[in-house]
Structure 1
Amino acid sequence: MTILDKYILKRYLATFGTMLLLFVPIGIMLNLAEQIGKMIDNEAPLNEILIYYLNFTIYIGSLLFPIFLFLSIIFFTSKLANNTEIVAILSSGVSYSRFLRPYWIGASIIAVMMFFMGMFIVPNASKGYNEFKFEYLKRCRKDRVTSNIFNQLNENDYIYVSSFDPARRIGYNFTFEHFNDQNQLDYKISASNIRWVPKDSLYRLTSYTKRKIRANTEIIEKKRRLDTLFIFNIEDLTPVSYVAETKNLFELDEFIEVQKKKGASNINTYILVKYRRWALPITAFILTVIGVAVSSVKRRGGMGVNLAFGIGVAFIYIFFDKVFGTLAEQSGFSPLLAVIIPNLVFGILGYYLLKNAKR
């Protein structure tokens, strides 16, 4: 690694680190100012508040990594351009491609860090962050799907509830169907509601009805109330909306496979989380290319013009990402395409800007 590589790489990483150190504390203070009243009203313990803001730092920092990276590159590369350092570097015989090498090295370091954090560190922080948020900050809001819940437990068993109350752990209009190996209905259990009783570690069914099919004959059994056991957990009826964010690389793959077998209606949400994690390191390279191409040319407006352009591009990128993400979550749009299209569009934009910058 030459002096040039070390010089640019040092500026690259130092500016990125400074951005994080400057803006993350600001984010914490703004969040604290907004939520302190709810924390006091809901009597959140001090130790849990401290852990929440540790998780908040990791969680929010990971979300803003690409934006901080992009603005960092524009900031320090614009300073190089305004000080005519880039002109001096290229005039000395260094090609533009060679000039970009330390940027590629820096992007690789950030990409590896983003991948490792996104796959293993952020999921744990996301769990603590969301659990605190829904426990103390959004008590009256739903954190999961609570209507028309259908799950396939295994090859033979299916359950359905028309609605679910997570606070009371009650499912309404419960149905359990068991099919035999010939894929014929063996018996069906229905109840007006199903409640988990933690004290006795069992389920309580109200207005219980069981229909058995035996040799073309239907046998009906009814009870006002029945305490029994099932092979599922009451929480598995409807996982929390952020459950995919709390799974690491290996847990997420396993969780998605289980949800596919169950026929989960919001499976696209989980798959989208998986693809976004894999695409995040690629984003580091795309934004690096765009940032260098935009800011390596000295402009009359100076750094302000470059930063304004960079912020505009960042907001457009977020808009594209949100639009296609929403399409994947709420319609039949492919989660893979929802991740690929924004990166492909901005990858092409980066290539175009880089060709013009070389001129």
Structure 2
Amino acid sequence: MKILDWYILRRYLFTFFSMLLLFIPIMITVNLAEKIGKILEKEVPFWEVMEYYLNFTIVFANLLFPIFLFLSVIWFTSKLANNTEVIAFLSSGVSFTRFLRPYLIGASIVAAIALLLGLYLAPKANTGFNEFKYKYLKGRAGVQDTKHVYSQINDNDIIYVSSFNPSDKSGRNFTLEHFEGNELKYKIFADQIKYDEKDSTYKLTRYVKRVVGQEDDSIFIQRRMNFDFKFNIEEFTPVSYAAETKTYSDLVRFIEREKKKGSSQIGRYEVVKYRKWSLPVSVFILTIIGLSVSSVKRRGGMGVNLLFGISIALVYVFFDKIFGVMAEQSSFSPLVAVWFPNIIFGILAIYILYNAKR
């Protein structure tokens, strides 16, 4: 690369990471101010709090990558334009397309980081982030998201819990019904089911098994029983964050399994899957828009460009949220919902870039 490429690329990456380092401590401070009461009340160990905010940083950095990038591109490009550096570059015989190249190189680096975060690092961070939240911050209120969980775990067995607590992997009012064809063969009840990670078994409290007979039913009662059920504890995972905690390959398998079970949350899971790919693409779209609108020296200076950039960012987030909710709550296609903002803003990027070249 030439001096121009290195100069712009350094400014591109430096401004982006500086903006991340500037805003992330602000988000942590705001979140800590809101949660500090519960953290002190429950005497959460210091190292768990530090781990929580490390996961918090990764989760929100992954979500806000495109917006931070967009604002940073507008910021440093506006400074170049105000200092007449853009005019100097273009007057030296460099075409606008050639001027765009270091921006696309920088976007490729950031998109690769965003892809790595989305596919591997963010799911692990989401696991720790949500486990801490349900364990210390939400308390029993967190279980509200997991009431009345039904799941068909295979062709013959259906399980149910009235509520499931993800922090200690326990459920209340557990029921298992075993069918052969359309005929119920037996039914298991328990006041509580708890997963024991040490021996990978399920401990049932106040166990009752009712076997359906030809004339009379048989009932077996036991205070405590251990079972090696063939279903995974993930059958009870809260639907509110199940997909966010999985790497891409695990998520694909999880969605296929949920489709076979007839889950009503497929739209939500597929939105998460498609966003892992749409976010890196949005990096290129927003980079082109940011460069095109801020490379011209305006009478209002950098403030006008930032105002325009923030407006576009808000519209992008609005489209992303609205269509995401539509896909999660209705039969609207998750693929269309996730990629529609990129398509609209991609067309806008081409139009603005064309006019910027002129």
TM-score after normalising by structure 1: 0.89
Report which stretch shifted further, 258-267 or 16-25. Answer: 258-267
Change (3 A) 1:20 1:270: same
**Partner Cα separation in structure 2 for residue 90 and residue 337 of structure 1:** 39
1:339 to 1:257, Cα distance in 2 relative to 1, 3 A: same
Alpha-carbon deviation of 1:8?
Answer: 0.9
Within-5 A mapping of 1:1-359: 1-142=1-142, 145-161=145-161, 163-166=162-165, 169-172=170-173, 174-179=175-180, 183-185=181-183, 187-189=185-187, 191=189, 193=191, 195-196=193-194, 201-204=202-205, 208-211=209-212, 217=214, 220-223=217-220, 227=225, 229=227, 231-232=229-230, 235-240=233-238, 241-359=240-358
Alpha carbons of structure 1 residues 308 and 20: separation in structure 2 relative to 1, 3 Å = same
Structure 1 contact 126–245 (Cα < 8 Å) conserved: yes
Cα distance change on mapping 1:269 and 1:262 into 2, 3 Å: same
Aligned residues: 351
SS in 2 for 1:170: strand
Moved more, 59-68 or 146-155: 146-155
Deviates more, 1:294-303 or 1:202-211: 202-211
Deviation at 1:148, TM superposition (A): 4.2
Distance change (3 Å), C-alpha of 1:202 and 1:190: closer
Residues 150, 264 of structure 1: 8 Å contact kept: no
CA distance in 1, matches of 2:195, 2:105: 56
Alignment RMSD: 2.5
Greater displacement, 221-230 / 148-157: 221-230
In the aligned structure 2, how far is the partner of 1:37 from the partner of 1:210? 51
- The amino acid of 2:111's aligned partner reads A
Give ranges in structure 1 of 5+ residues lacking alignment: none
Contact 2:191-2:204 at 8 Å conserved across structures? no
Q: Distance in 2 between matches of 1:186 and 1:28?
A: 53
Alpha-carbon shift at residue 355 of structure 1 (Å)? 1.5
Letter of the structure 1 residue corresponding to residue 80 of structure 2: L
Using structure 2 for the length normalisation, give the TM-score. 0.89
Given that 2:169 and 2:195 are in contact with CA atoms closer than 8 Å, whether structure 1 keeps it comes out as no
- State how far apart, in whole Å, the 2-side matches of 1:244 and 1:141 are: 21
Residues 34 and 171 of structure 1: CA distance in aligned 2, closer, same or farther (over 3 Å):
closer
- Note the C-alpha offset of 1:334: 1.4
Structure 1 segments (4+ residues) deviating >6 Å: none
What fraction of aligned residue pairs are identical, expressed as a percent? 50
1:15-38 deviation digits (Å, cap 9, x = unpaired): 111111111112222222221111
State how far apart, in whole Å, the 1-side matches of 2:217 and 2:194 are.
24
Tell me, in whole angstroms, the C-alpha distance in 1 between the residues paired with 2:3 and 2:302: 25
Does the Cα contact within 8 Å between 1:196 and 1:234 map onto a contact in 2?
A: no
More divergent stretch after superposition (124-133 vs 273-282) = 124-133
Which range is displaced more, 298-307 or 145-154?
145-154
- Deviations 1:216-253, CA, capped at 9 Å, x for gaps: x5653234557463624584342122122111122222
**2-side partners of 1:83 and 1:291: how far apart?**
17
User: In the aligned structure 2, how far is the partner of 1:265 from the partner of 1:128?
Assistant: 25
Contact 1:66–1:283 (Cα < 8 Å) also in 2: yes
Question: Structure 2: which amino acid aligns with 1:229?
Answer: F
Cα pair 1:150 1:263 within 8 Å, conserved = no
Residues 1:69 and 1:218: Cα distance change in structure 2 (over 3 Å): farther
Judge conservation of contact 1:154–1:261 (CA < 8 Å) in 2: no
Q: 1:25 to 1:336 in 2, by over 3 A?
A: same
